[in-house]
Amino acid sequence: MLEKIIDSKEEPSKKYTKSDIISPECIEMLNFRAQEEEKSSRLYEDMYMFLDNLGYTGAGALWHKYAHEEMVHVDWARGYLLGLGIQPEMREMPLIKSSYTGLPDIIKKSYNHELEITKQCKELASCALKEGDHMLYELALRYVKEQHEELTKMQTWLDKLEAFGEDATALRFLDNEMGELVK
């Protein structure tokens, strides 16, 4: 239909381009979003391996699941760009340098990481609004809603650490509870 309007001799002769649909700034933000979601996946995969190696098999399995969920979020941004006929960029990924002290440390670092990702997702929504890109704003809201879920998950784990402590028995119960969420 759009091609018919674009090529119609009865309509004005304006040719539409991709920049009429999405701004270069928004394209950059979507490529950045995909990169950051992929980095999140790699971070959580690294945390999974650390946890599993320490014997926290339940928590490790949960962080492994979190890693796979992040890759779904990568596809949201890339799929959006592809739907507009724009080739997403495959950006270089930094090396993940493990420096964890245990399950409580991973929970705290994951929460802080999700705070940063939430800030980025809000910036994507602001960019879409500034550009008047209501289609992109809908996708940005999907990311923001997902971030609320991510923060809620991590806040729950922080609350349990605070309520029950970080001794070996409490962490064993927490590890078991986390493992049950993967089954």
User: What is the chain's pLDDT, residue by residue, as a tens digit (183 residues)?
Assistant: 445 544 555 555 555 556 678 999 999 999 999 999 999 999 999 999 999 999 999 999 999 999 999 999 999 999 999 999 999 999 999 999 889 999 999 999 999 999 999 999 999 999 999 999 999 999 999 999 999 999 999 999 999 999 999 999 999 999 999 999 998
Residues in Cβ contact with 137 at an 8 Å cutoff, skipping those fewer than 6 apart: 125, 128, 129
Spatial contact of 42 and 74, defined as CB atoms under 8 Å apart:
no
pLDDT value of position 98: 82
Instruction: For residue 94, tell me if it sits in a domain.
Output: no
Instruction: For residue 9, tell me if it sits in a domain.
Output: no
Spatial contact of 59 and 51, defined as CB atoms under 8 Å apart:
yes
CATH number of the CATH domain containing 144: 1.20.1260.10
Instruction: For residue 119, tell me if it sits in a domain.
Output: yes
Binning the chain into helix, strand and coil, the percentages to the nearest 5 are 75, 0, 25
Q: Rounded to whole angstroms, what are the CA distances from 94 to 11, 62, 111, 112, 125? A: 50, 23, 20, 19, 26
Instruction: Report the domain count for the chain.
Output: 1
Instruction: For residue 1, tell me if it sits in a domain.
Output: no
From the list 63, 65, 56, the residue with the least C-alpha distance to 170 is: 56
Q: What is the mean pLDDT of the chain?
A: 92
pLDDT value of position 144: 98
Instruction: For residue 167, tell me if it sits in a domain.
Output: yes
Q: Is the entire prediction scored with pTM above 0.75?
A: yes
pLDDT value of position 175: 98
Residues in Cβ contact with 177 at an 8 Å cutoff, skipping those fewer than 6 apart: 58, 160
Instruction: For residue 112, tell me if it sits in a domain.
Output: yes
Instruction: For residue 76, tell me if it sits in a domain.
Output: yes
Instruction: For residue 35, tell me if it sits in a domain.
Output: yes
Domain of 74, in residue numbers: 22-87+101-180
